[in-house]
């Protein structure tokens, strides 16, 4: 193990107090009718209007009509978000009057949006093309997969990495090894570019966490309904809780198209870190 690890201070960890993906996370103090229950999870903004009205589609296909939101976030159609919300009474049975037999709709109050890093998956063949520096620009710095789950069209990954305290944004990407035979499993590697923020020259690094979401449905071959995934990273902890070790670590799972269930391949909860760390978009 590299000697810089003895200086690492773990500042942020994944806490068990935050609710599971797309589930009821907690009840507010006092009486708890449905409008007081806080839900959270991953969604995609699918409609925006000039008057500020917008709609969000859950990973399970349920449509959320945002009737109340007092935040300052700039809403962009097509953006993937992680947020907390209440379901409003609707028709009295907590289903919107816009619901149909084919489409469940809820009217909601958005409480808060959280930053989530969502970028396209990078093909390994692209990295190997003309520019020999492409792969290096994606980065080879240490990163550990803490939790990961398939949800809708995406794979969502909670990770741990090292940075300078009060440093600059890092670069996080997921690389698909499309140079392997089509009959093989789909190999994905989580990559990290620390932007030069590494131990040495009197500088120390600290542990931080992040959450990223990558669209995986497009990797399923035409005519197929599922793919076997091997997710690789380059760091782990000894016995799961001990010292950090640099190693090739794989997590495996099967992604199925059209599934509305959350399928975890490692860990059990997904949520953004409290510090809302931003990452560079390559």
pLDDT tens string 173-212: 999 999 998 778 999 999 999 999 998 877 899 999 999 9
Residue that is last in its domain, among 84, 113, 142: 113
Residues 198 and 248 in one domain: yes
For 126, the token pair is: 């692209």
Q: Note the pTM of the prediction, 2 decimals.
A: 0.80
Domain holding 103: CATH number? 2.40.50.500
pLDDT tens string 125-144: 999 886 768 888 899 999 99
Per the structure, the count of domains in the chain is: 2
Residues 51 and 150 in one domain: no
Domain holding 193: CATH number? 2.60.40.2370
Q: Which residues contact 122 (CB under 8 A, 6 or more apart)?
A: 138, 173, 174, 175, 176, 191, 282
Residue 52 covered by a domain: yes
For residue 239, count CB atoms less than 10 angstroms from its CB and return exposed for 0-12, middle for 13-18, buried for 19 or more: exposed
Domain range holding 51? 33-113
* Distance in angstroms (rounded) separating the CA atoms of residues 47 and 113: 16
Residues 76 and 144 in one domain: no
For residue 173, count CB atoms less than 10 angstroms from its CB and return exposed for 0-12, middle for 13-18, buried for 19 or more: buried
Residue that is last in its domain, among 113, 136, 159: 113
Residue written as tokens 């979401």? 213
By three-state DSSP, how is residue 145 classified? strand
Instruction: Using alpha carbons, list the distances in angstroms from residue 200 to 4, 166, 247.
Output: 8, 16, 21
Q: Is the pLDDT of residue 5 over 70?
A: no
For residue 241, count CB atoms less than 10 angstroms from its CB and return exposed for 0-12, middle for 13-18, buried for 19 or more: exposed
Residues 256 and 169 in one domain: yes
- Confidence category of residue 96, pLDDT binned at 50, 70, 90: confident
Query: Of 43, 37, 40, 44, whose CA–CA distance to 20 is shortest?
Result: 40
């Amino acid at each position: 193990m590299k000697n810089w690890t003895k200086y690492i201070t773990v500042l942020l960890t994944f806490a068990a107090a935050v609710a599971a993906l797309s589930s009821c996370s907690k009840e507010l103090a006092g009486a708890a009718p449905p409008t007081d229950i806080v839900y959270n999870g991953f969604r995609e903004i699918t409609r925006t209007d000039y008057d500020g009205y917008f709609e969000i589609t859950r990973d399970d296909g349920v449509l959320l009509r945002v009737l109340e939101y007092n935040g300052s976030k700039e809403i962009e159609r097509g953006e993937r978000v992680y947020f907390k919300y209440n379901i409003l009474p609707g028709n009295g049975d907590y289903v919107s009057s816009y619901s149909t037999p084919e489409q469940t709709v809820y009217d909601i109050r958005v409480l808060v949006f959280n930053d989530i890093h969502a970028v396209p998956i990078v093909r390994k063949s692209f990295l190997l093309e003309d520019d020999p520096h492409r792969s290096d620009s994606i980065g080879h710095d240490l990163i550990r997969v803490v939790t990961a789950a398939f949800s809708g069209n995406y794979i969502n990954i909670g990770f741990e990495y090292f940075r300078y305290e009060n440093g600059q944004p890092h670069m996080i990407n997921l690389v698909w090894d499309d140079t392997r035979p089509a009959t093989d499993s789909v190999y994905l590697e989580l990559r990290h570019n620390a932007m030069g923020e590494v131990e040495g020259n009197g500088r120390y690094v600290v542990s931080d966490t992040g959450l990223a979401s990558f669209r995986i449905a497009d990797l399923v071959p035409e005519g197929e309904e599922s793919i076997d995934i091997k997710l690789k990273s380059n760091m782990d902890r000894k016995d799961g809780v001990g010292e950090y070790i640099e190693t090739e670590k794989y997590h495996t799972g099967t992604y199925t198209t059209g599934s509305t269930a959350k399928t975890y391949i490692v860990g059990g909860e997904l949520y953004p870190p409290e510090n809302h760390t931003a990452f560079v978009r390559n």
